Chain A
Amino acid sequence: MDELEGQPEQLISFDVVVDGNSHATVSIDGELDMSGIDPLAARVDEVLGNGVTSLTVDVGGVRFADSSAIALWVRWASAVDEFELREPPPLLRRVIGAMGLAEKLGATS
């Protein structure tokens, strides 16, 4: 029953800023799973459609990311010329590493 009552609590907040000619910074906080990523995906798709070719994703405030979230980042990384996943917390860095995606996602510290 509990699963049916109401939407899951919104655990994610994000901010997308186009801060340059073709660069955008996406800041994400909270817990990121498939139940909450659609608004984020839609917003970033919008800026990607507007000619953004360089993307910095600040995930310093991400406490949890499931495979759907990681797949989303990989899709962004494939869609732009330059991609950087900035300041992933250690837990996240370990997951990305375990999936063989550290290089692909440009996970820097």
Chain B
Amino acid sequence: MNSVESVQRPPATSRRSEAAEPIGAATQARRPSSNLYWLPVATLVVGLLVTLALVLVSHSQYVSNEKRLINLRARDAAALLAESLPSTTSTMAAAVEQANFTDGSVARFKRLVGPEVGTKSGQFLSLSLWKLGALNKGPVAVVGTQPKLVTTHGNATALLAAAGRKPVLNVIGLLQPPDLRLGYAYANSTESGGYVVYGERPLPANRRSRLQGTSQFAGLDYAIFLGGKQTPRSLLVTNLAHLPLPSPSYAQTVPYGNTSLTLAMSSRAPLAGSLPKNLPWISAVLGIVLTIAAAIVTLRLVQRRRRAEDLAGRLEVTANENERLYAEQRGIAQTLQHALLPDTLPQLPGIQASARYEAGEEGVDIGGDWYDVIDLDGGRLLLVVGDVSGRGLRAATTMAELRYAIRAYAAQDDGPAEILTKISRLVSVAESGQLATVLCATIDTAERRLSLTSAGHLPPLLLANGDSHYLHAEVGLPIGVEEGTVYQSTTVTVPPEATVVAFTDGLVERRGESIDQGLDRLRTAATGQNVGLPELLGGLVRDMASGGAEDDIAIVGVRWTS
């Protein structure tokens, strides 16, 4: 609530300068959001690092797992190879025993080993019986082909002699193409009279072999070498046309007679299935896709946040602008209202006049309430308070018209009843939808006599001798209902130092409350107040409007000072 007196331009301009600050504040509030663009980049970097770590971990898991599995397979396969040795040993050991026992019976030797020699798989190509101590004389007996050892190894007899010194199977690689063989020598005596049996078995031509029939070699590439080294010269068999084995390959060495076999393997397909092998790739692709998606989502969120902040900033600016416009409009309305109301009130000897105007809480519009105190002839006053229905410029212009018409008729020395009858022609509810309630009172200051006429207006309050009551006059129709309405005047005489307060309904009217309750509250508030007239009116407005008056309030009072 701003009183008329305080309505000046400065409040509006000060609001304007206040409104400028939040605009700057909004700009500042928006600035940090641009820094958030590091977020998508960070998301990208972190996501790619996590992806890389996942790829490395899953790859190393894959490699170590494959290594473990192929080692298991290699061990199985090597065991299978090693198992073939006892049958070779037992055949030769039996022949050696028989030869030692029969002192080298050729016939018995041939009969014993005959079934073991041939061209079938597992058979010896050649088995021969040699007498230790007489090795240089050649074999005692030969079954099958002539031993190749004799033709390819110059020191064949030394090899056989060495075999005689230990009761283990001596394995001799005869690995010169095209006729690839393994030689086996076995003896169980170092005595000069003992015998050694020597046999040769073929290797597959080109050292190529397919052992896939056994489950231990299924799905594997392999190469078997004689001895501990993987050299082309020591290669026994492989399933590949060309060495080396595909990487990664794994080797297992198993004892084989007096030497060893090296079994090298690599798997053609991942042993643990394709998922572990592909997992690094799957991780990489998924990780990159998810990282990019996350970065995009983050970017979107950052952009959305920025847009929201922009919007919030703009809304704030708009709100501030609205507030400024509201304040400005309210200021204009109140300034105009002020201009339509009297600047000063006449002050005659022995009587004081004062007035206030309060815009209602919704007061962006100018209102239709007014008051006036007119000096008629130096001894009499015309007190006027009125209220045009509605708000806005239409109400205000009707109000101004009525106010100046009353002044004009008052100048013609018309009484209040005549004045109201005359101005009843100026307003027509049928044409404009407007009504006006008006209270007119001529006051004879010396006689303390009031002549009251009411056109539908609330009665004035009389305060005298610490008591108060309303001055009820006959209430006529409001201005605008019927043209030429005849009004009655009611004359009262008031005590010395009395105060008469007239007002518009905004002072006493509340939603959900009887107008009588409002009138009672006003009377209670006014009774016993021992203050100056302006302070009294101000206090009444403040008390009655506490909690927020909806409507405009005009209040005018006169007080006899003697």
Contact = CB atoms under 8 A, between A and B. Distances in A.
A74 B512 CA distance: 22
A75 B429 contact: yes
Interface residues of A, number: 28
Contacts of A91: 512-515
Interface stretch (B32-40, B335-343, B477-485): B477-485
B319 A101 contact: no
Interface residues of B, number: 37
Interface in B451-488: 454-458, 475-478, 480-481
B contact patch SS: loop
A14 interface: no
Interface string A48-81: 0000000000000001101110111011001100
Interface of B: 319, 322-323, 326, 361-362, 364, 387, 389-391, 429-430, 433-435, 437, 454-458, 475-478, 480-481, 505, 509, 511-516, 551
B511 to A, nearest CB: 5
A contact patch SS: helix
B433 A64 contact: no
The residue among A3, A31, A63 with the most chain B CB atoms within 10 A of its own CB is A3
A94 B514 contact: yes
The 9 closest A-B pairs by CB, nearest first: A99-B456, A67-B389, A100-B475, A71-B435, A71-B389, A100-B456, A64-B511, A78-B430, A75-B429
A67 B437 contact: yes
A24 B433 CA distance: 20
Contacts of B437: 67, 99
Contacts of B433: 41, 71-72, 75
Given A34-B391, A71-B434, A63 B456 contact: no
Contacts of B477: 100-101, 104
Nearest to B514: A91
Contact of A98 (B387, B391, B511, B515): B515
A91 to B, nearest CB: 5
Contacts of A39: none
Given A75-B429, A100-B456, A101-B456, A70 B514 contact: no
Contact of B361 (A3, A94, A95, A104): A3
A71 B477 CA distance: 12
A34 B552 CA distance: 14
B454 A63 contact: no
A101 B434 CA distance: 14
A67 B514 contact: no
